[in-house]
Amino acid sequence: MKTTGLFKAVFISALALTSISAHAEEKKWTKITIATEGAFRPYNFTKPDGSLDGYEVELYKDLCARMKVECTMVAQPFDSIIPALNAGKFDAIMAGLTATPKREETISFSISYGLTPQTFATLKDSPYAKLPHTGETLYLAKDEAASQKAIDDVSAEIKGRTVGVQTASLGLTLLDKYFKDGIDIREYKTTEQHDLDLKSGRVDLIVASLAYLTDAAKKPGNEDIVMTGPFFKGGILGRGVAVGLRKDDAELKKMFDDAIEAAKADGTIKRLSEKWFGFDVTP
């Protein structure tokens, strides 16, 4: 009996060591597939020839060179990008995806490589082109009283209006939390779609990131789009744009964290963000 028990113990230990060895082996990343949306300028977009470009497209190449791994970037619809990551269709997300408390229940995130607020936009001849607190920055988690006062003021101005926003976006999180009771929220698969409906008068306002709206207003045909209302930061809006990763890929997270930290330290993130956004988004 003792011999049998000893044999079982040795056998189980051998299995455990084999499992640990296999686990360690699969964490030696040499190839990484990264998903992006390909429709969220200037973070990422698809050029007429079908190739991807933008801030994150340049940044992922830099990060992968630092990590000494071979990377491929693929396009994936934004509204299904997190479920697809967890289903194993790719290894990481770089798609203007902000690390929020809600999203961190489902996936993990690297340290941030970009931080821009959310805000409203409308047409320059709209009655909503100068909402209360326009240009002010509201830190939702730091000064709740001041933030609530500004939210109440804006809510009163846009009550009964139709506001366009991308599905599964941070803008939708903002509207659902603070504005949904007084407005009609209309969701779109892409930000470009809500831009078109704003210009055609099918929505009164849209909500998106400052980075996106700054770039969108520069595009031909969008000259009448103007930002309005406060700049919303922090709280439910998270700690900035980061690489989305599966929760059990701790080694890959460390690799991205180290590479992003190095890119921040040597000014690469500052240089790329100033190229694509016109201002520094370094967190």
Indicate the domain borders of the chain.
29-115+239-277, 118-237
- Tell the residue number behind the tokens 């460390």, with chain if given: 254
Of 249, 197, 263, nearest in space to 91 by CA? 249
Peptide bond into 77 cis (omega under 30): no
CA triple 89-192-176, angle to 5 deg: 80
Architecture of 29-115+239-277 per CATH?
3-Layer(aba) Sandwich (3.40)
- Mean pLDDT taken over the chain: 92
Q: How confident is the model at residue 12 (pLDDT cuts 50, 70, 90)?
A: very low
**Is pLDDT at 107 greater than 50 in this prediction?**
yes
Whole-number pLDDT of residue 144: 87
Average pLDDT over residues 67-86: 98
pLDDT at 18: 45
Question: pLDDT class for 140, splitting at 50, 70, 90?
Answer: very high
CATH number belonging to domain 118-237: 3.40.190.10
